[in-house]
């Protein structure tokens, strides 16, 4: 999930919404839970980037059931958040799949963890090593991928 100011050109206006409290929890996410996550994200943005909410928010998320549910759509309409369409079956347009989970998988490759808490600590430590520019690059890498997807008439899987 990624959000940005509606008309901003500045990389600093981008904010990636990886919620660490949700990242390691063992619960499924339904529409109600997803709206709670969006509420927390909205409050965090208000605290950390107050002008971002006033200028409008553009959100990218995939087509998972909680994201497409009526409850979620109502929440997004209520707060006037715009959605960047995400074509079905297009993992190469998800910033987390490309920019985060690939490198994380390589980092964790071959390591063994006896306890779940060890894994969680390792993942948190890995995320803490990156500055905002790392996440900004991930967001901006989407534009050429999206343009390629459009050129290929929504057939977005790179072969």
pLDDT (tens place) for every residue of the chain, 159 residues total: 544 444 433 333 333 344 444 344 556 789 999 999 899 888 888 888 877 777 778 887 877 889 899 999 999 999 999 887 776 666 566 666 667 788 888 999 999 999 989 998 999 899 888 888 887 887 777 777 777 776 776 555 554
| pTM given for the model | 0.56
Assign a CATH topology to domain 2-151.
Nucleotidyltransferase; domain 5 (3.30.420)
What string of DSSP letters covers the chain?
-EEEETT---GGG-EE---HHHHT------HHHHHHHHHHHHHHHHHH-HHHHHH-EEEE----HHHHSHHHHHHHHHTTEEE----TT-GGG-HIIIIIHHHHHHHHTT---SSHHHHHHHHHHHHHT--HHHHHHHHHTHHHHHHHHHHTTT-----
């Amino acid at each position: 999930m990624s959000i940005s100011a509606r008309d901003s050109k500045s990389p600093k206006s981008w904010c990636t919404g990886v919620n660490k409290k949700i990242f390691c929890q063992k619960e499924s996410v339904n529409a109600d839970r997803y709206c709670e996550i969006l509420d927390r994200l909205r409050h965090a943005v208000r605290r950390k980037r107050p002008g971002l909410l006033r200028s409008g928010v553009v959100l990218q998320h995939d087509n998972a059931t909680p994201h497409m549910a009526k409850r979620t759509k109502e929440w997004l309409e209520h707060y006037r958040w715009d959605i960047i369409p995400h074509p079905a079956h297009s993992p190469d347009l998800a910033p987390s799949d490309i920019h985060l989970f690939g490198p994380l998988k390589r980092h964790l490759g071959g390591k063994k963890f006896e306890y779940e808490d060890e894994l969680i600590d390792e993942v948190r430590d890995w995320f803490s090593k990156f500055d905002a520019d790392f996440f900004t690059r991930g967001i901006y890498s989407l534009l050429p991928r999206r343009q390629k997807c459009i050129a290929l008439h929504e057939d977005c899987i790179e072969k």
